[in-house]
Structure 1
């Protein structure tokens, strides 16, 4: 019996280590705060560990885990609406992301994007993050959000329209006459 539990724990640990960075980035975009994102991912993995036999046998464990995270975020958001819509000024701009180029410009761009995302209603933010950051199809995003494909299309379109209407974000994207 102990051997099976150890094998199960090792399988979960491998899954956890492989998925943590990507889920943390997604959670950060959903919450707007590093600590809240870490808490959200930790809560997600706690729930996934309890249901690990179902998750491991699922056709797409990543979709299952994203759905758990979206549901956990929605529950937290319903409880503390203001905390999720207005990130604290003392929170770091972004988690460490490995890429090259001008770090200051990237931090400014990310800061502007995160500020813009924080102004979106939760469902629009979820749809935008899942469709354009996670690069999920409309069907995958709908499954993760627990809604119809039409609702994802509508929320994503409304969210993108609001983002495009924000002057600070539009200036960041087209600075210097070039599009990033």
Structure 2
């Protein structure tokens, strides 16, 4: 690879690694696996870097991350794995302890519930609501129609609410009354 391409890749990887890692974690619920997914994604991206248009680099990276994660989910040893671990909390020193505790409880509840949503719906929810991508970009990243994205998002939110209600029947969070 030419020096200019290598330098532009390094800058891109440095600037986007944290965002890719966060997205990967939201998909898989495991920081170690998220790091592996990002490394695999960056390796694949490096190989194709000369062919990637400068305007679509972020979209290409997200699409590659999604495909890498879906490929990882298809591996036989992943199907037998059960993730029952507790997600560690991070401290929020700027907040009232009661508010911080409620936020941490809500965060853990949502992350636990998100891990139980089917992979395709989880991918749509992460891209659509956490990454705040338009429906068209989510459809392009997942190679499906916009209608499929909308229906998967609707079913995913319904499943997410159901799992949250199953884990904590008394919890009333954002969107629990049908407003997202």
Note whether the superposition's TM-score is higher than 0.5.
Answer: yes
Give the C-alpha shift of residue 108 in structure 1: 2.0
Gaps of 5+ in 1: none
Aligned to 1:143: 140
Task: For 1:1-180, list aligned pairs within 5 A.
Answer: 5-55=2-52, 57-79=53-75, 80-83=78-81, 86-89=82-85, 92-93=87-88, 101=95, 102-165=99-162, 166-167=164-165, 168=168, 171=171, 173=173
**Separation of aligned partners in 2, 1:169 and 1:54:** 50
Query: How many residues are paired up?
Result: 168
State TM-score, norm by structure 2.
0.82
Gaps of 5+ in 2: none
**Separation of aligned partners in 1, 2:55 and 2:13:** 17
Give the C-alpha shift of residue 162 in structure 1: 1.3
Q: 1:124 to 1:108 in 2, by over 3 A?
A: same
State TM-score, norm by structure 1.
0.82
**Separation of aligned partners in 1, 2:30 and 2:88:** 8
SS of 1:136 mapped into structure 2: coil
What RMSD over aligned residues (CA atoms) do the two structures have, in Å?
2.7
1:93·1:107 contact (CA, 8 Å) conserved in 2?
no
**Separation of aligned partners in 1, 2:10 and 2:146:** 33
Select between 6-15 and 65-74 the one with higher mean Cα deviation. Answer: 6-15
**Separation of aligned partners in 1, 2:45 and 2:125:** 24
Give the C-alpha shift of residue 87 in structure 1: 2.5
2:24·2:34 contact (CA, 8 Å) conserved in 1?
yes
